[in-house]
Amino acid sequence: MAAAYGEVRSLTEKLATPLSAEDQTVQSMPDVSPTKWHRGHTSWFFETFVLRESFPGYEEFQPGFSYLFNSYYQSVGPRYERARRGCVSRPGCAEVAKYRAHVDRAMSKAISAGVLDEASLGLVELGLHHEQQHQELLLMDIKHVLSLNPLGVCYLPWGTPARPSDKSGSQPAWIGHEGGVTRIGHDGDGFAFDNEGPSHEVLLSPFKLADRLVTCAEWLAFIDDGGYRTPQLWLAEGWDRMTAEGWEAPLYWDRTDGSWDVFTLGGRRSVDPAEPVCHVSYFEADAFATWAGARLPTEFEWEAVARRNLESGGGFSGQLDDPACVHPTRQDGREMFGGTWVWTSSAYLGYPGFQRAQGAVGEYNGKFMVNQQVLRGGSVATPRGHVRASYRNFFPAHARWAFSGVRLAKDI
């Protein structure tokens, strides 16, 4: 536990290292949180749920931080408004670093002293997986922040990443599934978030799933065929959102002199037709599927196929010299895991028998089970330990800043 704690906590700081103090304070839209807030909030989690409850004599670093870094735990106390996190210039990054060090020293003592009971150790494990989620959010958020800078800045200058094998002109093959009664959800072996269970059976009709993600070449064809100008393809709410916000292509795409380029964490470059399309909303994914004569898979269909392809790895290695977190360029789109998150047609709901955990941590997932769509599979920025068949991500249908893409399905 001590080793895992140190590894996760140090990676968060490593991810923040390329960023200036000014970078870490910007909030570019209400859904984005400043980098220093991610660093503070993940420390607040351990302080609030482990140290204050189970480590006698622990002294808070700064009592006001409980208000500032609480995210959405209403039962813990009042919170600073999420959409205004970028207005907080103090504490600065150096002070947040001291806060993290303070919490880490206390956690090290608590773990080594053996004073944490089984329930507290369970919260430590949850906190580590929670911080890994924020590592992906940190990359998502800073990408949005830097994309708005007119000076062409980037997170890290990786240069041009290796080109995936070119399947831009090839049609996808299809993975057939016979349907029937299928077990879905986490089986209890190893860590899982509460929304991954209970394991239960669902009835699937025969279907087939594309053996790869939708490529940028296919998305360019959708654009050229008037995909963003044809209301018959779109859900009503999606059409309204698209027209109101002026969507013409995936987020971070821009057309210059007739050619499309894309902003990545490694800087701006030309769109590569061979790579999987990324940063599209559920509305765009659904419109594309209708245009393509297909549909989006349910989350249960995706999981049924993924369980037969568990050998396909992926996800973020944690190495900042690895350009995988720039964009899903090193993926050829045929992996079930770790290229882009895949939008499904499933609403984010609790499984049969789902119960929220007791206490404040019961607010972790259950309270968001409305007006969200499920995504599956993980992305190039998802920690590798989170890449599993039962993992459920969720975002509102209009969200585009996540590393989200498309895999098509059809009925048989």
Question: For tokens 């269970």, what's the residue?
Answer: 197
Distance between CA 374 and CA 190 in Å, rounded? 22
Distance between CA 338 and CA 136 in Å, rounded? 12
Judge whether residue 363 has pLDDT over 90: no
Residue 166 is predicted with a pLDDT of 56
Question: For tokens 């190039």, what's the residue?
Answer: 380
Residue 321 is predicted with a pLDDT of 67
297: left (phi over 0), alpha (psi -120 to 50) or beta: beta
Question: For tokens 């249960």, what's the residue?
Answer: 300
Q: Which two tokens stand for residue 315?
A: 């996800």
Judge whether residue 19 has pLDDT over 80: yes
Distance between CA 399 and CA 340 in Å, rounded? 14
Judge whether residue 368 has pLDDT over 80: yes
Strands annotated E in 189-292:
200-204, 207-210, 253-256, 259-264, 267-270
Judge whether residue 160 has pLDDT over 70: no
Whether residue 126 contacts residue 359, with contact meaning beta carbons closer than 8 Å, is answered with: no
Residue 48 is predicted with a pLDDT of 95
Residue 112 is predicted with a pLDDT of 92
165: left (phi over 0), alpha (psi -120 to 50) or beta: beta
Give Cα separations from 145 to 141, 154, 260, 401 (angstroms): 6, 10, 21, 11
Rg of the chain, C-alpha, whole Å: 21
Average pLDDT of the chain? 91
SS3 (DSSP) at 88:
coil
Residue 335 is predicted with a pLDDT of 74
Give Cα separations from 174 to 137, 156, 409 (angstroms): 32, 37, 8
Judge whether residue 330 has pLDDT over 50: no
pLDDT tens per residue across span 231-278: 999 999 999 999 999 999 999 999 989 899 999 998 899 999 998 999
Phi, psi of 58 (to 5 degrees): -65, 135
Phi, psi of 269 (to 5 degrees): -155, 175
Higher-pLDDT residue of 324 and 61 is: 61
Residue 169 is predicted with a pLDDT of 59
**Which pTM was predicted?**
0.94
Residue 21 is predicted with a pLDDT of 97
Residue 310: pLDDT band with limits 50, 70, 90: low
